[in-house]
Structure 1
Amino acid sequence: MPNGVLIIDKPQDWTSMDVCAKIRGIFHERRVGHGGTLDPMATGVLPVFVGRATRAVEFATEGKKEYIAALKLGVITNTQDTTGQVLETRPVQVDRTALEGALASFRGDISQIPPMYSAIKRDGKKLYELARAGKEVERPPRPVTIYALEVLDQAPAGFPQEENTWYLKVRCSKGTYIRTLCHDIGQALGCGGSLSALRRTEAAGFTLDRAVSLEELQASPDPAALLAPVDGCFGEYPAVTIGAGAMKKAKNGSPFSCKAMDGIWRVYGSDGDFLLLGRCTGGRMTTIKSFFEV
């Protein structure tokens, strides 16, 4: 039974759910979920969880993410990216010094107003459904964190080299809209801006160098061999190995004694199998989420 994480290099024009549907067919496995939506125009790291590993999806979506984004200045669209309808074009007189100056206020804890073209729900309807019907509603600002934001010296491989376009590396928290970031930077510069290309380089602790394309997955004689262990999502936590008695209690869902400091741990059986993510308090480990097959 397949169980693990596929790090897919999502192709352009596919939705994240399209990728999950394709993987369900390849593995003949109903339990498939992804670790953070990418817009159809975006490419890059899409962690896809298969089998019992889907229990980690809730943790994966919470983690930090990293992107390379193309910011096209002078163009304002209704979707905040260049796939949308152009609302306005403005002249651009921005050099690197001006751009760097504008970026300073977007680092750290900031607020974003989510775009109308998003899947956030309002009164049971997704915002993009309202937007397509020509409606705009008030959206409360949401707090996000930009951990790093820098200007790249040149267009990364695969990105179009376009006039009035700058390339940004962004490391951010869950819930950050990169196209909104580009729009807001454009507003701060006075000329407007849109996202013209986006590539995610890290999500859920997995990086682009480990990603495979859908073509590689389909051509593989053993697709299950491409699955990464689910404990890779929890590399930030220390590991502890438990004996047979504690393992029996763990598999029954009971707390068990453990020689570990207080905190969150990756817990392994004596055979090396990843069992669970647990919280140790005063020498007693309780399960946060289990990952062994029942």
Structure 2
Amino acid sequence: MARKRKGVPRHGWLVLDKPGTMTSTQAMAKVRWLLKAEKAGHGGTLDPIATGILPIAFGEATKTVQYAMDGHKTYRFVMKFGEATDTDDRAGTVIATAPGRPTDAEIEAVLPRFTGLIAQVPPQYSAIKVDGERAYDLAREGEVVELASRTVRVDRYQLIGRPSADEVEFEVACGKGTYMRSLARDLAVALGTVGHITVLRRLSVGRFTLENAVTLEELEQIVAAGERDPDDLLLPIETALDQLPAIDLSATEAQRLRHGQGVLLLRRGDLERLEAVREGAALATEAGRPVALVRLDGAELKPVRVLHV
């Protein structure tokens, strides 16, 4: 007999403004505990020192976590020139120093090298797996981790402030898998010095923004007061799927998908619907409600993940 899950079956996304005092997993666990939720996951890890947007999925929304992780992101960070750390942020140990303090003009001249599709080596302390183990676990054990360069997309890398002679503030808009710590580290090296991140804040992940975020303290107060239904804090499951085309189905078609069956689109009126999902995944809906993530196989829609809401 399958073990019964404990907790309330909630479905949707909560946008947490993560504090810089815990890991993403710890923050997610705290939120899940506060809401007494049956099932939860998060859409994209933030560094422990980082604050800002951590989308937390509940229930059926956990089936869409990958799409949140793939979403466009924006960050703001402060980097300090003159010191390199083993983690590439303030949490690490200083491993090198250099006297260079670039001017704004020198920084602006180099920034174009770090926009567009660029090659980037992730930090030694990262969640990337090496022979089945996390790179940060190997690094903590004193091993030198050789991580392969990967191609990432940086849409904007903008100097926005100069808190001090040693510090510079940037805002970055980027795609999946881009490490801010690597951007800061590599920029410093390109300027003939070293550096690390001292402040890091994520401003958005896809449609998840600070405008609809809640802090842990605010969430604790809301739960303690007991005056609001916690489900009122949740955004719809499809919030993470804005990059996917949507295809509306009839009640009969939706029922087939819910039972794991395909839907043939062979009628003349189906041509427009076929074009909408010609490439990759799509979101099937019925009367505006999500039914399933689907893919097109010939002229047949096949369910990839059925959303039971």
Q: TM-score, normalised by structure 1?
A: 0.90
Contact between 2:65 and 2:240, CA under 8 Å: does it hold in 1?
A: no
In the TM superposition, residue 219 of structure 1 has moved relative to its aligned partner by 1.9
In the TM superposition, residue 244 of structure 1 has moved relative to its aligned partner by 1.7
Match of 2:4 in 1: none
Q: Are residues 1:275 and 2:288 paired?
A: no
CA distance in 2, matches of 1:275, 1:200: 31
Contact between 1:78 and 1:86, CA under 8 Å: does it hold in 2?
A: yes
Structure 1 alignment gaps of length 5 or more = 156-160
CA pair 115-282 structure 1, distance change in 2 beyond 3 A: closer
CA distance in 2, matches of 1:246, 1:130: 50
CA distance in 2, matches of 1:60, 1:226: 18
Match of 2:301 in 1: 285
Q: Can you list the C-alpha shifts for 1:170-229, whole angstroms capped at 9, x where unaligned?
A: 112222111111001000000111111110011143112111111222222322110000
Q: Are residues 1:56 and 2:72 paired?
A: no
In the TM superposition, residue 291 of structure 1 has moved relative to its aligned partner by 1.5
Match of 1:219 in 2: 221
CA pair 106-282 structure 1, distance change in 2 beyond 3 A: same
Q: Can you list the C-alpha shifts for 1:134-190, whole angstroms capped at 9, x where unaligned?
A: 2213222122111221111x37xxxxx343211111112222111111001000000
Q: Can you list the C-alpha shifts for 1:83-111, whole angstroms capped at 9, x where unaligned?
A: 21112222234112110111111111112
Match of 1:266 in 2: 283
CA distance in 2, matches of 1:238, 1:106: 31
Q: For 1:1-294, list aligned pairs within 5 A.
A: 1-152=9-160, 154=161, 161-220=163-222, 221-258=228-265, 259=270, 260-262=273-275, 263=277, 264-270=281-287, 272-280=288-296, 284-293=300-309
In the TM superposition, residue 281 of structure 1 has moved relative to its aligned partner by 6.1
Identity of aligned residues (%): 36
Contact between 1:217 and 1:223, CA under 8 Å: does it hold in 2?
A: no
In the TM superposition, residue 117 of structure 1 has moved relative to its aligned partner by 1.4
In the TM superposition, residue 66 of structure 1 has moved relative to its aligned partner by 1.2
CA distance in 1, matches of 2:257, 2:149: 42
Which secondary structure does the structure 2 equivalent of 1:38 belong to? coil
Q: Can you list the C-alpha shifts for 1:28-82, whole angstroms capped at 9, x where unaligned?
A: 2231000000011000000000011110112222222211111211211111112
In the TM superposition, residue 240 of structure 1 has moved relative to its aligned partner by 3.3
Tell me how large the CA RMSD over aligned residues is. Answer: 1.9
Which moves more between the two structures, 229-238 or 279-288?
Answer: 279-288
CA pair 125-288 structure 1, distance change in 2 beyond 3 A: closer
Contact between 1:186 and 1:192, CA under 8 Å: does it hold in 2?
A: yes
CA distance in 1, matches of 2:123, 2:230: 37
Structure 2 alignment gaps of length 5 or more = 1-8, 223-227
Which secondary structure does the structure 2 equivalent of 1:276 belong to? strand
CA distance in 1, matches of 2:124, 2:292: 39
